Amino acid sequence: MTRFRFVKERKPHLKSPGEIEAMKAAGQLSARALKLAGGLVRPGITTLEIDGCVEEFIRAEGGVPAFKGYGGFPCSICASVNEQVVHGIPSGDVVLKEGDIVSIDTGAIVDGWVGDNAHTFTVGAVAPGIQRLLDTVERALWAGIGQAVCGNHIRDIGFAVQSIAEAGGYSVVRQYTGHGIGRAMHEEPSVPNFGREGEGIMLEEGLVLAIEPIVNMGTKHVHILEDRWTVVTDDARPSAHFEHTVAVTGDGPVVLTRE
Ligand code: MG
CB distance 243 to 11 below 8 Å: no
Question: What is the distance in A from the centroid of ligand 1 to the CA of 101?
Answer: 19
Model pTM? 0.96
Question: What is the distance in A from the centroid of ligand 1 to the CA of 107?
Answer: 8
Q: Which pLDDT score, from 0 to 100, does residue 49 have?
A: 98
Is the pLDDT at 114 greater than 70? The verdict is: yes
Question: What is the distance in A from the centroid of ligand 1 to the CA of 212?
Answer: 6
CA distance 259 to 253: 15
Question: What is the distance in A from the centroid of ligand 1 to the CA of 185?
Answer: 7
pLDDT in tens, 176-193: 999 999 999 999 999 999
CA distance 36 to 5: 30
CA distance 54 to 36: 7
Question: What is the distance in A from the centroid of ligand 1 to the CA of 150?
Answer: 21
CA distance 182 to 45: 33
Is the pLDDT at 6 greater than 70? The verdict is: no
Question: What is the distance in A from the centroid of ligand 1 to the CA of 58?
Answer: 17
Question: What is the distance in A from the centroid of ligand 1 to the CA of 116?
Answer: 5
Question: What is the distance in A from the centroid of ligand 1 to the CA of 96?
Answer: 23
Is the pLDDT at 9 greater than 70? The verdict is: no
CB distance 245 to 186 below 8 Å: no
Question: What is the distance in A from the centroid of ligand 1 to the CA of 118?
Answer: 8
**DSSP code at position 95:** B
Question: What is the distance in A from the centroid of ligand 1 to the CA of 124?
Answer: 26
Interior/surface letters 84-102, b for 16+ CB within 10 angstroms, e for the rest: bbbbbbbbeebebeeebbb
pLDDT in tens, 135-165: 999 999 999 999 999 999 999 999 999 999 9
User: Which residues are within 5 Å of ligand 1 (an ion), measured at CB?
Assistant: 1, 116, 210
Residue 8 confidence class, pLDDT cut points 50, 70, 90:
low
